[in-house]
């Protein structure tokens, strides 16, 4: 459907931008690249809402 195609296109554009910024620079300069996940990436926000301490 149109909505799924649009969502995929936006996701793909975002991924290409991420790769361009982080991966291209690391390859050109031999820089180690480390990725830090956000709360939404590891599911911590859902855990915290169930177990707030």
Domain count, the chain: 1
Predicted local confidence at residue 4, as pLDDT: 87
Predicted local confidence at residue 26, as pLDDT: 59
Q: How confident is the model at residue 16 (pLDDT cuts 50, 70, 90)?
A: confident
Work out the average pLDDT over 10-36.
74
Predicted local confidence at residue 37, as pLDDT: 63
Predicted local confidence at residue 47, as pLDDT: 54
Q: How confident is the model at residue 25 (pLDDT cuts 50, 70, 90)?
A: low
Q: pTM of the full predicted structure?
A: 0.44
Sign of the alpha-carbon dihedral angle for 25, 26, 29, 31: positive
Can you give the three-state secondary structure of the chain, one letter per residue?
Answer: CHHHHHHHHHHHHHHHHHHHHHHHHHHHHCCCCCCCCCHHHHCHHHHHHHCCC
What's the CA gap between 42 and 44, in Å, rounded?
6
């Amino acid at each position: 459907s149109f909505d799924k195609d649009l969502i995929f296109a936006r996701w793909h554009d975002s991924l290409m931008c991420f790769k361009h910024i982080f991966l291209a620079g690391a390859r050109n300069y031999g820089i180690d690249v480390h990725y830090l996940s956000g709360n939404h990436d590891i599911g911590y926000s859902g855990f915290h809402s169930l177990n707030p301490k």
